[in-house]
């Protein structure tokens, strides 16, 4: 990856927006969508205030709001764990000739992991497992092709994010309630994993 990004790549970065809230009007109270849109526009996780407002407007999401908050608060350790999975699976990936060499390429990859989980938490907090944008993912695929991002490593990393996240839900408990909660949350991760795998085609 060249230190100076081309104008074409910069344009793709702007357009590679994973999430879309365009179809939420029919299923969500009108006051909720601007909260999600503002967070996405700013590339940040939902704040405690955002989550409280979402819960007030849509009380049925209470359990999901707690999960979104937990994952947000533990994003650093989740991403660190996913990174270790990638480095273990592809031990030479950050070495000369590897797909995440030199260091700025690897750092961009770990930042993408942070943003992957951010987008997943939007889906969870919004109780919508179909939260992605076809158009945004199309441009993301083009961006990854342009930058020669190692797709297999990204998929492994996203699967690592899923594993690390589900492990932390409900205090890593193994009781029936925790198990049911993890099964309920897994589709939010699986949706993005499948979309990323489709980049191979």
How many CA within 13 A on the CB side of residue 179? 3
Residue at token pair 């950050």: 94
Mean pLDDT throughout 44-52?
98
Mean pLDDT throughout 19-29?
92
Percentage with pLDDT > 70 across the chain: 92
* Per-residue confidence (pLDDT) for residue 177, from 0 to 100: 58
Cβ(69)–Cβ(75) under 8 Å? Answer: no
Q: Nearest-5° angle of CA 30, CA 54, CA 32?
A: 20
Mean pLDDT throughout 16-26?
93
Cross-strand bridge partners of residue 132: 19
Q: Return left, alpha or beta for 43; rule: phi > 0 is left, psi -120 to 50 is alpha, else beta.
A: left
Mean pLDDT throughout 26-54?
96
pLDDT per residue as tens digits for the range 80-128 = 999 999 999 999 999 999 999 999 999 999 999 999 999 999 999 999 9
Report residue 61's pLDDT band, with 50, 70 and 90 as the boundaries.
confident
Task: For residue 130, count other CB atoms closer than 10 A to its CB.
Answer: 10
Mean pLDDT throughout 6-33?
93
pLDDT per residue as tens digits for the range 119-136 = 999 999 999 999 999 999
* Per-residue confidence (pLDDT) for residue 2, from 0 to 100: 46
Residue 19 pLDDT exceeds 60: yes
Distance CA 76, CA 126 (A): 22
Residue 1 pLDDT exceeds 80: no
Mean pLDDT throughout 174-196?
83
């Amino acid at each position: 990856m060249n230190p100076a990004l081309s104008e074409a790549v910069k344009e793709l970065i702007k357009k590679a927006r994973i999430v879309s809230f365009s179809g939420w009007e029919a299923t969500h109270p009108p006051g909720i969508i601007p909260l999600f849109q503002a967070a996405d526009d700013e590339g940040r996780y939902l704040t405690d205030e955002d989550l409280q407002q979402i819960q007030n407007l849509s009380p049925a999401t209470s359990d999901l709001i707690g999960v979104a908050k937990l994952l947000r608060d533990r994003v650093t350790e989740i991403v660190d764990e996913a990174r270790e999975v990638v480095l273990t699976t592809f031990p030479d990936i950050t070495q000369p000739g590897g797909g995440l060499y030199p260091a700025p390429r690897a750092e961009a990859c770990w930042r993408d992991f942070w943003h992957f989980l951010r987008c997943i938490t939007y889906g969870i907090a919004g109780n919508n497992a179909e939260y992605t944008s076809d158009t945004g993912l199309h441009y993301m695929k083009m961006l990854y092709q342009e930058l020669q991002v190692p797709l297999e490593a990204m998929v492994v990393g996203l699967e690592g994010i899923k594993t690390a996240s589900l492990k932390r839900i409900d205090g890593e408990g193994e009781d029936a309630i925790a198990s049911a909660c993890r099964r309920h949350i897994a589709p939010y991760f699986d949706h993005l994993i499948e979309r990323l795998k489709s980049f191979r085609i």
